[in-house]
Structure 1
C-alpha cells in the first residue's frame, strides 16, 4: 500500500510539473541549420587567391600559362594560417582552381596543375599543406573551385561536367573535412580551351546541373555549407566591397535564383523580409585593390581602420566577412598585409573588450510564463544563447528597460 501511495504521489508531481512547463515560442520565419549557426559564429574567414596569376600579374588567367612559372620558393602555409589565427579568423578558403584551370593539387584528371611545376620538384601539394596548417592552428578549411575553366578543351560541353565533378571528388575525398564549398558566378567567355582560343558561352542556369553536383558533394561531406549567388547555404552579398545592406535579411527565396544570374545584386545585398529559406550573406572583399598579389599594390594595403569599418558593415549587419589576403610570389603573406591584420585585431579587441550591458539590471512589462528561461535578465547575462520572450497573447511589441546607468 505504501508503495502505491509513493507511486501515485510521483505521478502527481510529474503531472503538476508538466503543467508548469513553459514552452518556447514557435518560429515564425525560416531558421538556420546547425551548420549555418556555426558558420555565423565564425565571423571572420580568410580568402586566399594564389595561382599562376600571382606570377603573371593578371587577375584572370587566360588558361595558356605554363605551369613551370609556378615556383613559390619560400612557400609556408603555416605562416598564412598562423597569421590568420592570431588576427582572429576562424577559417580559410583557398582558390584550389581559379578560372585559368591551374590546380593547386596534383590531381589525376589534368596536366595543367602543380605536378608539372618546379615547386617541390613536382611533388608539391598546396591544398594539402594549407589543409594541414588549418588543422594545426584550429581553423576550418574551405575550398574554391572555379566552375569556369579557360584551359580545359571540353568546357561548354557535357564532358566537362564529369571532369568538374571528378575534381570535386578528389578534393572532398582526400582533403577533408571541408566546411564550405565556394562557387564563383563568373562563367563563360574567351579562353585557351585546349588551344582553340575562342569565345564560349553556356546556359548558366542549366549547364552545371547544380542540384546533382551539390548532391554529389553532400554525399561525401553532409555538413558542408554551399556558397553561391543563390545559396543554398550562404549567399553572395551582392558586391565585392565587403558591405552588407544597412537592412540585411538573412532570408531569401531562391526559386528563381542561380549562380551567375545577372541583375540580382540589390536583392542579394539586403535579402528578402518574406524569404522562404535561411540563406545569410557572406561579404567578400580584398585587403588590396586586386584579388591576387601585385607588387605595385604593396603600398595600397587597406589600413586597420578601413578593415574595422568593413567589419562593422559586414559582421555588424549580420553577415560574415570573407577577407582576401593574397600571398606574394615567394609564397608568403607580405609584411604590409600582416601588419594591417595585426592592427585590425588590436582595434577589435580594444573596441569590444568590455560588454557594457553585461550584468545590468533589466525589467520588463511581460515575459513568457514568468519563467526564468525567458526572463528579461537574459538580455544582459553575457550568454548569447539565452533570450527574452513574451507570452503569445502579447500582440504588440513588449518593452524592456535597463535600469542601471552605463
Structure 2
C-alpha cells in the first residue's frame, strides 16, 4: 500500500514539474502607428509591377498628345498582349498597369461616351478593345491588372466644366465594371494646360484640389471595386516617390502626413521620397521609371534601353529600399515589346536568379541579445525560418537589440536582405551591420529604415559571423526575415 502511495506521489510530482516547465504564454506586441491595409500589404509583397504606355502617341512619336490626333493613326499590325504578359511573367513581374487613356483623351476601349476611341480606329476594323485584351492576358498569365485614366483630357471641349467630371466618372464606371478585378488605379499629376479641346486650341486651367472632387469620384470606384488601391502624388493609398529615376530614399518611411503633401511646400519631392517618421497615414512610395528614356515607344531610343545590370541597380534602389518598382515597358508600333526591351528583361531576370540563388543564412545559426519574454515564439531563429508571419521581437519598451548569425566555416557575403514585420507597423529608425574580422567586429553599414524589405551590398566580405544591431526604433523592433547571399 505504501509503495502504491509513493508511486502516486512521484507521478503527481512529475506531472507538476512538467507543467511548471511549460513555456508561459507571452503577449504579442501591440500594433504601432498606422498599419497597412490588407490590399497595401499584398501590394508590398508584389515588389515589381509593369507600366504599359501605349496609345496614339506611339504612332505620332510624341510623349504627350495634343488631343487633335486622328483615331485613324492607331493601327498596330501585330498586337499581341500575350507576348507582353508572357514576357512580364518570365521576368518576375506580378502586375501591370495600362494607360487606358492618356492626356490626349484617346480611349483604348470602345467607350459609349466619346468617339475619340479605339472604335474609330482601323484596328480590328473598329472592333478592338485593348483594355479587355490586357485584362484577359493578365489573368491568363497570373498577373494582376491595373489602369491609368488621365484626369486631364486635351481632346474634350468641356474640360474645365462640371460636365467633364460626369464624363470622367462614366468612363471609370466602364473600366471598373467591364474588365474584371483592378488592383491599382493610377492618377497622373499633370492636369490642365494647353490643348486642342475639341477644336478650340487654347489653355485650360483648373483647381487641382477641388475640380475633380476626388472624394466623390473615388467613391464611384469604391462602389464597384472597394479593394482597388489609388496612386497619385499624395495617395490616398500609394504615393509618388518624388522622382522618375527609379530611386527611393535610403531613409524610406511608409508613413507620411497627407497635410504636408497637399501643402505643396518647398522640398515636397524630398518628403515624398523619404516619408515621415511617425507619420499618421500609411501611404508607401511607388517607384515609377521607364526602361527607355521616354514613356512611349520611340524607334530612336531602341539603342537606349536600360541594360540588365542597370535594371538590377534599379531593383536595389526601389525594392531594396522598401518600395515597389513600377517599370514602364512601352510596346512598339507593331503592338509588341521590342526585342531589345525583351532581351534586357531576360538578362535582368538572370541576374536576379544568380544573385539570389543560395541563401547562406539557411546554413547559419541565429542568436539574439534579447528576445520577447525569452520565448521561442519571438526567438532569433524566426528570422531564418522563411515564414513571413513569424518574427524576432524584444520586450515592450526595449527599442534596441541585435541578432547575430554564425557559420561553421568562412563565407563570402555579397548581399544582406532584411525585412520588418510591417503588419504591426514600421518601427526601425536606425541599424548597423558588422562582421567578424581579425577577432573583432568590423562595421560595414550604418543605415536608418528597413520597412518591408531592405537590401544592402556587402561586397564579397569573408567572415564567419554577421551582426545586425537595431540602434533606434519607435517601438519594440520586429524582424521577420534575414537572408544572406
TM-score higher than 0.5: yes
- With normalisation by structure 1, the TM-score equals 0.93
From 405, 421, 428, give the equivalent of 1:402: 405
Of structures 1 and 2, the larger Rg is shown by 2
Q: Answer yes or no: is the 8 Å Cα contact 1:363–1:401 preserved in 2.
A: yes
Question: Partner of 1:161 in structure 2?
Answer: 165
Q: Answer yes or no: is the 8 Å Cα contact 2:23–2:375 preserved in 1.
A: no
Residue 257, structure 1, aligned to residue 266, structure 2: no
Deviation (angstroms), 1:384: 2.7
Q: 1:251 to 1:308 in 2, by over 3 A?
A: same
From 291, 294, 297, give the equivalent of 1:290: 294
Q: How far apart, CA to CA, are the structure 2 residues paired with 1:25 and 1:120?
A: 58
From 332, 335, 339, give the equivalent of 2:336: 332
Q: How far apart, CA to CA, are the structure 1 residues paired with 2:52 and 2:160?
A: 27
Structure 2 SS opposite 1:144: strand
Structure 1 SS opposite 2:92: coil
From 128, 134, 145, give the equivalent of 2:132: 128
The C-alpha deviation readout for 1:132-168, integer Å capped at 9, x for no partner, is: 0000000000000000000011111111111101110
Consecutive unaligned residues of structure 1, counting only runs of 5 or more, are 1-15
Question: Partner of 1:363 in structure 2?
Answer: 367
Question: Partner of 1:13 in structure 2?
Answer: none
Deviation (angstroms), 1:97: 0.1
Deviation (angstroms), 1:365: 3.0
Deviation (angstroms), 1:258: 4.5
The C-alpha deviation readout for 1:302-341, integer Å capped at 9, x for no partner, is: 1000110011000000011100000011111100000000
From 351, 354, 359, give the equivalent of 2:355: 351
Question: Partner of 1:217 in structure 2?
Answer: 221
Deviation (angstroms), 1:261: 8.6
From 336, 341, 346, give the equivalent of 1:342: 346
Question: Partner of 1:6 in structure 2?
Answer: none
Deviation (angstroms), 1:98: 0.2
Counterpart mapping for 1:137-176 below 5 A? 137-176=141-180
Q: Answer yes or no: is the 8 Å Cα contact 1:229–1:259 preserved in 2.
A: no
Q: 1:180 to 1:260 in 2, by over 3 A?
A: farther
Deviation (angstroms), 1:390: 1.2
Question: Partner of 2:106 in structure 1?
Answer: 102
Q: Answer yes or no: is the 8 Å Cα contact 1:229–1:258 preserved in 2.
A: no
Consecutive unaligned residues of structure 2, counting only runs of 5 or more, are 1-19, 412-485
Deviation (angstroms), 1:401: 1.8
Residue 388, structure 1, aligned to residue 392, structure 2: yes
Q: Answer yes or no: is the 8 Å Cα contact 1:204–1:259 preserved in 2.
A: no
Deviation (angstroms), 1:256: 4.6
Deviation (angstroms), 1:274: 1.9
- With normalisation by structure 2, the TM-score equals 0.78
Instruction: Write 1 or 2 for the structure with the bigger share of strand.
Output: 2
Q: How far apart, CA to CA, are the structure 2 residues paired with 1:261 and 1:168?
A: 31
Question: Partner of 1:206 in structure 2?
Answer: 210
Q: How far apart, CA to CA, are the structure 2 residues paired with 1:267 and 1:296?
A: 35
Q: Answer yes or no: is the 8 Å Cα contact 1:286–1:324 preserved in 2.
A: yes
Q: How far apart, CA to CA, are the structure 2 residues paired with 1:342 and 1:287?
A: 13
Q: How far apart, CA to CA, are the structure 2 residues paired with 1:196 and 1:262?
A: 35
| Structure 1 vs Structure 2 CA RMSD | 1.9
Question: Partner of 1:33 in structure 2?
Answer: 37
The C-alpha deviation readout for 1:8-59, integer Å capped at 9, x for no partner, is: xxxxxxxx99993322111222221111110011111110000010000000
Stretch moving more, 380-389 or 63-72: 380-389
